DNA sequence: AAAGCAAACTTGACAGTGTAAAGTTGTCTC
DNA sequence: GAGACAACTTTACACTGTCAAGTTTGCTTT
């Protein structure tokens, strides 16, 4: 039960962040369906109508949670990019591994991040470049962009491959119904296709 | 308003299918959030409690809709496999194009198909092979499986790439916020990576 | 210190939703 | 024709999102 003595009535002080944190907790514990405005409010120790002063309804809260989750995801990807070595191939493999790790540990957050409308996530510009996490992907892909090829092509190849693998794997569609570790699926073998990204030799 | 004269009270005759069709209509029109038991019941011309005799709650209805959607998807993929020619590469490209077409035309259905728990979708066996649509993918990938490689590796490479691209594209994350046609994104260039699937030459 | 204003809540109400229980109607079998 | 059961309907309740009105708190001005 929330300790009401530490939270003054009518002026929480940092309710917006408290609601976002409460929402993240609910998503981590119970997935998408577990997130409700009233439950967030209860966890933050306020009435059910308090969130309305900080968010444009449940959709607004979800968007704010997605934005916070993207920040955490970007931080996670930054660390992952360095985890497997300094060569461009190793960095690329590292961020793909980090992507999947994030999905395994935070499935509810990942589903929220990619469930909110794209236009609510991006700022005024409308390209994916707005996202810090996308810039990490871009940096890692840059060494593999052949001359005369738009960088987006390579970036979208990598992103599609790892995003698709992550969603299919964590949702139990790749042979293991409830995967707990990366090794529960053929991650290394599937990601071998990354070695072909940017490869323009004729076959 | 539903024509009540054609549906006898207390014995609809084919209510289960009527509810599934109603659900599919609601998803096509308004996406995931538009699907509710009461709206399905209203469209089928019955009371709000009637679905309970055919489905295990809203989750049960969603699962049934997903199964019907997978059937339609498989039919769509079968047609797509033949659409671009008879060579193995053309067939593979064809089903990927068909996958994306399906996602563009039926975004709500695709999100439902991959949003229900995997264990509710599969029959007694728990591999993806249960799904008709997966067998189409398997057939198309078979020519590219190198000796000594498990077929799943190649299948998962292809599935991950097209599934990821489809979800990112239709949800507006690949540079075009509301894509209407495949040409609104760099599908052909991104899918060029398919030509590398199964390629074991040393680089 | 007091008054006024606005922010930041709370309280209460309503509509929509899912689910459960009890009742009613229609069909089938004996 | 009677009985049993399937296939509904009706009623009720809890949960949820949202809105409107009221209350409390903090800040600014006099």
A36 and A121, same domain (yes or no): no
Instruction: Work out the burial of residue B159: count CB atoms within 10 Å of its CB; fewer than 13 is exposed, 13-18 middle, 19 or more buried.
Output: buried
B105 and B158, same domain (yes or no): yes
User: Is the minimum distance from the CB of A104 to strand D below 7 Å?
Assistant: no
Strand C bases near protein CB (under 7 Å) are 7-13, 16-22, 24-27
A1 inside domain: no
Q: Which domain holds residue A32?
A: 12-55
Structure confidence at residue A9 as a pLDDT band (50, 70, 90)? confident
User: Is the minimum distance from the CB of A32 to strand D below 7 Å?
Assistant: no
pLDDT tens digits, one per residue of A138-172: 999 999 999 999 999 999 999 999 999 999 999 99
A33 and A99, same domain (yes or no): no
Q: Is the pLDDT of residue A2 over 50?
A: no
Spell out which residues of chain B touch residue A162, defining contact as CB-CB under 8 Å: 160, 164
Closest nucleotide to B13, Cα to C1': D7
Structure confidence at residue A202 as a pLDDT band (50, 70, 90)? confident
Closest nucleotide to A44, Cα to C1': C9
Instruction: Measure A43 CA to nearest chain B CA, in Å.
Output: 25
A93 and A185, same domain (yes or no): yes
Question: What residue spans of chain B are helical by DSSP H?
Answer: 15-30, 37-44, 57-81, 88-105, 107-113, 118-121, 132-141, 151-170, 187-190
Please give the average per-residue pLDDT across A94-100, as a whole number.
97
Please give the average per-residue pLDDT across A57-68, as a whole number.
96
Q: Is the pLDDT of residue A4 over 60?
A: no
Q: Is the pLDDT of residue A3 over 50?
A: no
The sign of the torsion formed by the CA atoms of A22, A28, A34, A35 equals positive
Q: What's the number of domains chain B is made of?
A: 2
The 8-class DSSP code of residue B186 comes to T
Task: Provide the pLDDT for residue B126.
Answer: 55
CB contact under 8 A, B203 and A199: yes
A21 inside domain: yes
A138 inside domain: yes
CB contact under 8 A, A119 and B172: yes
Q: Is the pLDDT of residue A1 over 50?
A: no
Q: Is the pLDDT of residue A6 over 90?
A: no
pLDDT tens digits, one per residue of B83-94: 988 899 999 999
Segment among B131-135, B156-160, B164-168 with least mean pLDDT? B131-135
3-state secondary structure of B82: coil
B81 and B159, same domain (yes or no): yes
pLDDT tens digits, one per residue of A23-58: 999 999 999 999 999 999 999 999 999 999 999 999
pLDDT tens digits, one per residue of B55-74: 999 999 999 999 999 999 99
B45 inside domain: yes
A181 inside domain: yes
Strand D bases near protein CB (under 7 Å) are 6-12, 15-21, 23-26
User: Is the minimum distance from the CB of A10 to strand D below 7 Å?
Assistant: yes
User: Is the minimum distance from the CB of A173 to strand D below 7 Å?
Assistant: no
């Amino acid at each position: 039960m929330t300790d009401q003595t530490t939270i003054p009535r009518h002026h929480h002080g940092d309710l917006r962040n408290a609601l976002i944190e409460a929402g993240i907790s609910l998503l981590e514990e119970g997935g998408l369906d577990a997130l409700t405005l009233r439950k967030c409010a209860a966890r933050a120790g306020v009435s059910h109508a308090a969130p309305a002063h900080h968010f444009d309804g449940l959709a607004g809260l979800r968007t704010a949670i997605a934005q916070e989750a993207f920040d955490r995801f970007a931080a996670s990807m930054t660390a992952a990019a360095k985890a497997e070595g300094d060569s461009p191939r190793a960095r690329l493999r590292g961020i793909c591994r980090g992507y999947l790790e994030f999905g395994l540990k935070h499935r509810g957050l990942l589903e929220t991040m990619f469930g909110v409308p794209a236009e609510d996530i991006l700022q005024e510009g409308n390209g994916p470049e707005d996202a810090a996490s996308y810039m990490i992907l871009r940096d890692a892909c840059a060494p593999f962009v052949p001359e005369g090829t738009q960088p987006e092509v390579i970036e979208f190849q990598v992103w599609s491959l790892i995003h698709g693998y992550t969603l299919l794997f964590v949702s139990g569609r790749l042979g293991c119904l409830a995967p707990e570790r990366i090794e529960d699926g053929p991650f290394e073998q599937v990601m071998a296709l990354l070695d072909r990204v940017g490869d323009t030799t004729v076959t």
